[in-house]
């Protein structure tokens, strides 16, 4: 793993660094680049702006690892409010939601997470949209896929997320190729025993997994900003006779926005992953870890304000 990436991921769990980043004046500008805001109204406003540019959206209410039933319930209520607001704004056709099971009680009780995710799925269905279950670190993969299978008994359109850096993912892609699947590289610090640590190996596995998903009868969603992989996905889609609309590209809010608009203008479905909420620190650290070059400006700015 890139040493700088390791350092950034370590900083994500360091309270002293968290306080520094949270209080530094420069942080607001960095956060605003990657996070839509803290309120539901902020999230809806950003969604509307992206939709005007021809972009689809998936929204993530930031927060994970709920330590009890009360914080899990707050997350559920945040999603219910968001879904109602999207419906009222006429945005349900272009916006769905992404949910982390750890934010709705997975660590407390898997049954609680299933019940809470079911409430969000039911609300999404009523509002005319759907849900994607975000994937987290490898220790939760089996649990998350188990909950996904239960949810799909009632809501077959709930999407899975698979991470190309995990060694198991090619097999998971084969199992889920007939369904909605988002394929990403992965952004958690994982041991070499379960994950590829060489970026080239991760890229190779991403393409292997993409081929499996494109060959299947499901709806693959390719979450990558990599300027090498994006055109490769387009080429592989043509190879498998996939038309635009039978798959989609996904990118993070604030990352390569010009490329996002370019893809949309060519007729591709381009969905932007839009996070919002007050718990932005862990998310920001993972985004910086994915692209360590982003960190240079950030660190210089922090030093300049100290």
Which residues are known catalytic residues? 134, 182
Q: Using only C-alpha atoms, what is the Rg of the chain?
A: 18
Contacts of residue 17, Cβ cutoff 8 Å, sequence gap at least 6: 11
**Residue whose entry in the numeric block shows the structure tokens 């060489």:** 198
Residue 184 bridge partners (DSSP): 163
The CA–CA distances, whole Å, from 265 to 22, 55, 248, 254, 259 equal 37, 9, 13, 18, 10
Q: For residues 286 and 281, what is the distance between their CA atoms, to the nearest angstrom?
A: 9
Structure-block tokens of residue 140: 């939760």
Q: For residues 141 and 106, what is the distance between their CA atoms, to the nearest angstrom?
A: 11
Q: Where are the beta strands (DSSP E) in 143-191?
A: 160-163, 180-184
The CA–CA distances, whole Å, from 51 to 25, 41, 48, 271 equal 30, 15, 5, 10
């Amino acid at each position: 793993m890139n040493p700088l990436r390791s350092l950034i991921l370590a900083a994500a769990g360091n309270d002293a660094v968290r306080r520094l980043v949270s209080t530094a004046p420069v942080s607001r500008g960095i956060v605003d680049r990657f996070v839509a805001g803290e309120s539901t109204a902020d999230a809806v406003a950003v969604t509307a702006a992206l939709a005007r540019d021809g972009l689809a959206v998936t929204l993530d209410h930031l927060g994970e690892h709920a330590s009890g039933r009360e914080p899990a319930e707050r997350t559920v209520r945040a999603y219910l409010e968001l879904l109602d607001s999207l419906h009222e704004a006429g945005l349900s056709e272009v916006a769905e939601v992404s949910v982390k099971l750890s934010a709705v009680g997975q660590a407390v009780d898997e049954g609680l997470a299933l019940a809470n995710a079911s409430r969000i799925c039911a609300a999404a269905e009523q509002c005319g949209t759907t849900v994607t279950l975000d994937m987290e670190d490898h220790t939760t993969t089996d649990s998350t896929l188990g909950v996904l299978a239960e949810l799909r008994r009632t809501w077959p359109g709930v999407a899975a997320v698979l991470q190309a850096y995990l060694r198991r993912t090619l097999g998971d892609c084969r199992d889920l190729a007939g369904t909605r699947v988002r394929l990403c590289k992965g952004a958690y610090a994982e041991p070499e025993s379960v994950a590829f640590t060489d970026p080239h190996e991760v890229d190779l596995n991403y393409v292997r997994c993409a081929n499996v998903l494109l060959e299947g009868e499901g709806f693959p969603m390719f979450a990558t900003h990599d300027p090498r992989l994006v055109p490769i996905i387009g080429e592989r889609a043509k190879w498998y006779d996939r038309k635009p609309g039978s798959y989609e590209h996904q990118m993070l809010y604030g990352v390569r926005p010009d490329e996002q608009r370019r893809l949309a203008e060519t007729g591709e479905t381009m969905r932007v992953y839009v996070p919002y909420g007050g718990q932005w620190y862990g998310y920001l650290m993972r985004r910086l870890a994915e692209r360590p070059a982003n960190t240079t400006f950030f660190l210089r700015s922090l030093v300049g304000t100290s």
